[in-house]
Amino acid sequence: MKKIYLFCSAGMSTSLLANDMQKKADEHNLPVEVKAFSISSLQEIYEKEHPDCILLGPQVRFLYEETKKTYNKLNTPVGLIDAKDYGNINGANVLKQASKLIKEASR
C-alpha cells in the first residue's frame, strides 16, 4: 500500500482533494492511502507514517524547495499540486502526478 500524503496550511481544503483521490484510487483498485494534513505536522507525520509521496498544496508552495531538499534525501518524492487541479479538485490528475513521482523515485 502506497501512502500519498497531502499538506497545506490547515489540512482542510486538501482533505476534499485527498477524498477525491482516494475515491479514484478505490474505483481502479489501486493500493493507495491518501490523507491530508496541516503542513505544521509534516515532520511528525513523516516520522510516524513514512509516506511514499509528499504533495504540497498551492498555499504552501513557498516551502517546496526546502521540503524537497529535506525529504528527497530520505528517498521520499515531494511534489507541488497544480493550482488548477487543486482548485477543481481533480483527484485523478493529482493521483497520476503522485504515481509518477513514486515511480521516478524508485528508479
Which active-site residues does the annotation give? Answer: 8
Query: Containing H/E element for 57?
Result: none
Query: Containing H/E element for 11?
Result: none
**E-assigned strand segments in the chain:** 2-8, 32-38, 53-56, 78-80
Rounded Cα distance between 56 and 88, Å, is: 16
